[in-house]
Structures are given as C-alpha cells and as structure tokens.
A = this chain, B = another copy of it.
Amino acid sequence: MSATLGELALRHGLTLHGDPDVRVSRVATLQSAERDALSFLANPKYRKYLADTRAGAVVLDEDSAADCPVPALVSDNPYAAYARIATELYPEPRPPAGVHPDASVHPEADVHEGAYVGPRAVVEEGARLEAGSHVGPGCVVGRGAVVGKDSRLVANVTVCHGVVLGERVLLHPGAVIGADGFGIAREPDGWTKVPQVGSVRVGNDVEIGASTTVDRGAIDDTVIGARCMLAGMVGVVGHLEICDDVVVTGLSMVANSIREPGIYSGGLPTDEARKWRRNSARFRRLDELARRVNALESTLKKSNDGNGSHD
C-alpha cells in the first residue's frame, strides 16, 4: 500500500509542511528511512536523529516541525498519528471467510458464515465463532467457548471450554485462556483437586501476548478489564482485583489488589553477576541489617542525650 502526503494529511487530520505529492509506501526509523518511507518523532530521545533524516516525511509535533529537514506531518499526538498511518500502509492480509478443509469443526459448533477457521484448527462442540472472527492455524476453541466479532486467534492458541471472548480481541500464538489454576484441598491421605468451575471473560479490544496464560476462576470468572497493560513476565495471583488504567512493568508479581491507577513495578534490573551475588547475599540478611541500623540509631541517640546532659 502507498499514499501521498496530501492524502495522509487529509485522511488523518494532520497539517502538512512540504510537497503533498511525495509518496510513501512503508515506515522506517529516522536513521534508516529513505525517501519512500515515513518516519515519526514521538520520544525526545530520538530528536537527535531528526536533522539528518532522509525520510520521505516525518510525523511530529509542532515544536519539532521547524527543525525537520524533510516534509512534516504535524500532530498533537505524533505516535498515535503514526500508528493510524502505519495501519493504513500495512493492511493485514485477511483470508476469506470460511472453514479451511484441514480444520476440524464439530458438527454442533456454531460458526458464522463470516468467520474464518484455518488449517489444523479445532472447534469443539457448542463453541460459537461470531462474524469476522479468525481462528488461525493450530488453534483450539473448546466446548461452548465464544469468540466474539472480529476477534483473532493468531496461531496455536488454546481457548478452553466455556471461555467468552469479546469483540476485536487479539490473542497471540501460544496463549492459553481458561486453563485450571491450582485448587487443591489437603487431606490426611493426599490431595483432592478442587474443580475450577469459573470461566474467563475477556472484554472488547483486549490484546494478549504470546504464550500468556489466563487461568479460569475457581468459582467466579476471571475477568479481563479496561486499559491495563501487563508487560512481559508479569504474574498475577488469584483472588484480587486490578482497577482500570494500571500498567505493570516486566517481571513483576502482583500479589495484592491494585486499587489506584498508575504504574507499578516489581522486577529488579540485571547487574554483573559478581556484583549481583554480593548484593543478593546481603538481601538474605536485610532484616538483620535493618535491625542493626535501628540499634545504631538508639545507641547514638542515647549517647547524644548523654552528651547533652553534660551541657
């Protein structure tokens, strides 16, 4: 796909500085872009590359426009404008609706005529695929599960029995939605598995990354809500709530409910192994260290009070 800057400015409501007939057909970074590529500047960190860019055009904000050596598409939110243009330049090839002959669909599944089921995908009894939904190769949609309108399971995704996906949900390869979490009752003669009878409900417009697992609830459903972003390798324990508008950065364990919007972290950055070992050995005795600091403070306070009494 390609477009002229004039067309892009018009369609995306941007102010154009420069030749409206320049045509771009792909996106690239400021550093690597050639004349056929559109670039963008949203993070000030990359501003230093602007002066030397050879891009066909750059999407940026008013403040940076003056310094742009090539045509500029000006937006209050250059990253979002870039996203919309890139979506236009890179249309997802969509296979035509229908069930691939190598798919395995249970006769009592309800597959909308506008849905797509790819090769080696499995749709089990009672599952429902709504209009525009896309079940890619190797995906499994379990008994009674629902894939909402225009939702897409990319490949090798597992949606377990009874799970309900909203509209425009995007599940990347290897995601597993609705497996049992551990529910175990201990008894003197062993463990008894507690049936996990809740399900998972995923709201509209949710994107779930590769190989992510979302376990079903033990009794009530696991519900995936609004405008939260959980980065890679984030774990969330059961029986808690995360409010809307929360970001959790990578390698964090959410062990308690989060009731305030904001950014949360739990992952320590790596360090040279030698330094790390020393610090982590100290961590194992951090409580003791804190007690020793308490003791030092008491001693010093006493000694100062004593000194004071001499005055």
Contact = CB atoms under 8 A, between A and B. Distances in A.
A282 B186 CA distance: 32
A137 B124 contact: yes
Interface string A98-127: 001010100000000000001111101000
B158 A174 contact: yes
A307 to B, nearest CB: 8
Contact of A185 (B77, B252, B281, B292): B77
A192 interface: yes
B233 A235 contact: yes
Interface of A: 26-29, 32, 77, 79-80, 82-84, 86-87, 90, 93, 100, 102, 104, 118-122, 124, 136-138, 140, 142-143, 154-156, 158, 160, 170, 172-174, 176, 179-187, 190-195, 197, 205, 207, 209-211, 213, 215, 219-220, 227, 229, 231-233, 235, 237, 248-256, 258, 262-287, 289-290, 292-293, 296-297, 299-300, 303-304, 307
A91 B285 CA distance: 49
B140 A173 contact: yes
A235 B250 CA distance: 8
Given A192-B80, A197-B90, A270-B253, A292 B297 contact: yes
A308 to B, nearest CB: 11
Nearest to A136: B140
A190 B205 contact: yes
Contact of A213 (B83, B193, B210): B210
Given A120-B104, A193-B207, A296-B300, A264 B271 contact: yes
A233 to B, nearest CB: 4
B270 A276 contact: no
A240 to B, nearest CB: 11
6 contacts: A26-B197, A87-B193, A174-B211, A211-B213, A285-B290, A293-B296
Contacts of A263: 272-274
B272 A269 contact: no
A266 B268 contact: yes
A300 to B, nearest CB: 6
A233 B235 CA distance: 7
Given A140-B155, A269-B280, A83 B176 contact: no
A185 to B, nearest CB: 4
Contacts of A303: 300, 303-304, 307
B271 A83 contact: no
B269 A191 contact: no
A274 B249 CA distance: 12
B229 A232 contact: no
A231 B287 CA distance: 25
B179 A176 contact: no
Nearest to A307: B303
